[in-house]
Structure 1
C-alpha cells in the first residue's frame, strides 16, 4: 500500500508524537509512506507553540526531522486558504448566528478527509495514515482503547468512502504506549506536550478572538424565571448554551445560573438555574452515516460534546430530513451547532460509531414525544 502519512491533524493530541509513531508503524508494516505537514495559517509564526496548539513552524520542523529519521519523503502542503474559509470563517459565522461549532470536527470533514485525502488519492496513494486515537475494524469506526484520548467523536462526520481510505494505527494502544514507542525510536517529539484549545486562536481567548472579528454587539442578559435584565454583554458570541462561568450577572439569590438560550437578532442571552438547564432531546440537521444508514427509529448512545459522557437515546425521523434524538436522561449544555455523534447502544459493541448530525434546536420539556 502507498500511504500518505499526515503529520498535522486537528485536535488536542496531534502535536507530532502521535503522527510520528503512526508513520513509523506504517513504515514497519512495509508500506510506501510519504510524510506531509499541513500549513494551515497564512502566518504560521503567529501560531502558538508549547502545549497550547498546533500548526506552528516548530511543528513542521519536528515533522521533517521524524521523516528524515524514517527515511521517507516529506512535503509541506499549504492549505491556509482552504482552512481559513472552511474552518476559521465557519467558526466565526456559527458563533455570530448563536451556535457553538466544533472546529476540530470541521477540520476533519473539510481538510483532512476531503482536501488532503482527495489530493493524496489523486496522486496515486491508497490511504491517508493519521495519528488519531480511534480504531477501524472491518471498515467500522470505533472508539480508541484509551478512553481518555479517544477522538472518535470528531471523526463521526466521515463517510464510508472516506473511512475506506483512512488508517488509524494508534487506536489499539494507549497514549503512554505511543510515547514509549517514540522514545524507543529516539524521536525528539516523544516528550512533546499534547496540544490543547483551538489552533487558530494564539492566546486561547476565544471571546477576544470573536470580538476582534465581529466587533462590539451589546445586549441584555435576562433571567428566565423573572424576565428581568440581570446583566449586559458585548456580544452573544461570547456565550454558549450551558455556560456557567463568566456570565457577569447580578441576581437576587446565590444559585448558579447557566446560559439557556442565545438570540443573536435581539442580542439577548437568557440564563436560568440548574433545574431549567436540562433538555429531553434535540432536533438535528441531515445526518451522515459511517456505514449503511440504519432503519429509523432505533436505539443508540449519543454524545453531544467531545468530552461528554454518552447517554442512551431513541433516534427517529425529524423535520426536513433531520433526526429527532430523545435522551434517556435530560442533558445540560446541549447547544445548537454541536455535533450529536451516535454510537451503538449495547455494551459489547457500544464503541462503534454510527454517524452524526448537527444539533439544530433543543426539544422543550412539554413537547409531545413522537411514536
Structure 2
C-alpha cells in the first residue's frame, strides 16, 4: 500500500470529473431519469450495508465495497447488468481486500437472504455465479484494490490517530484540530452517508473529510466560535447587537487578547517554576480550517452535494406509497438538518397531478423504497432487452436486403 495518497492508484486512476460520470450513464438515461439513477445509488449503498451487517463486516469493508461498486458502474450500465449480483460480489471482494475474508457460500447465502427480504426472489444462492462475477469485477477494477477513505483523514485532522505515544506525537496532536466527541461522531456519520452518492469517484478523501467537519461544525459549533456563529434569540437582541457592533467588537477583542495574554503568561510562569515546557495550546477550529492549503470553494461544493444527497434520499423515502416510514431519512445528520419536510409536502401535493410516463418518479412502483428501486431496475432492463432485440432485427433485415 502506498503511504502517499497522491502516488496511489486511487489518486492517479480513480478520480474523475463530473462529465465522466454523466458519460457513464448515457445508456441508463435512455430508460430512466436522473432522479431515479440517484435513487439507485442510494439503494445500492443501503443494500450493501445490509449484506455486510449480516456478514459481520466492519464499516471500512462496507466503504470499500461501495467504492468497488461505483467504479464498476463507471464502465458499465445498470440496464446491462445485474446490480444485485454486482453488489454481493463487491462485498465479497472487499472483505478479501480488507483482510477480513468470508467464505463464498456464506456471502452468497446471506446476500440471497437480504434480497429475498426485499422481494427480489430471482437472486440465486449459487456461489459459482458469485465466484465467476468476482473475476469480471477484478478486471473492471484494473486489479486496483487499495482504497483510501475519508475516515483516516478525519482522525488525523483531529489528532485522534492511534500509535506509539512519544513527545513528538503529543506535540503534533496538540497542533491538530480540536473536536469534541459529539462533533467527531457527527462528522463520522456524514462520511458514512457520502457513500450513497458518487463523491468518492470525484474528490480526494481528505477533502470529503474536511467537508464533513465543516458540516459537523455547522450543526455543533465549537465552543470558541459558538458566540460568533449562533444568531441572537430575538429581533430585539439582534437590533441591540447591531447598534453596539463596533464598540462591543473592539471591547471584546481587547478583553479576549488580555485574557489570552494573561493565561499564556500564567502558563509560562507555572512552567518556569516547575522546570518544564509549557504545553502547546490547541489552535482555534475556524483558524485551523482556514489555514489549510486546500481550495475552500471545492470543500463548500462538496458540502452542497452532501446536502443535496439528503434531499434526494428524503424524496426516495417520502414517496413510499404506504408511508410506513413517515418520509423520514434514517440518517441522524438529515434529521438535524431538517431535510425531508419539503420533499414530503411536494410528494403529497404532486402525487395526484403527475402522470405516469414510465420514466419518471411516479412510474417507479409502489411500496417501500426497495420495491420502487427494484421496479426501476427491472423496467430499465426490460427496455434495454427490447432495444437490443430491435437492433438485432434491423441487422438481420439489413443482411437479407444485402
Q: So what's the TM-score if we normalise by structure 1?
A: 0.25
Larger Rg belongs to:
2
Q: So what's the TM-score if we normalise by structure 2?
A: 0.23
Q: Which has the higher helix share?
A: 2
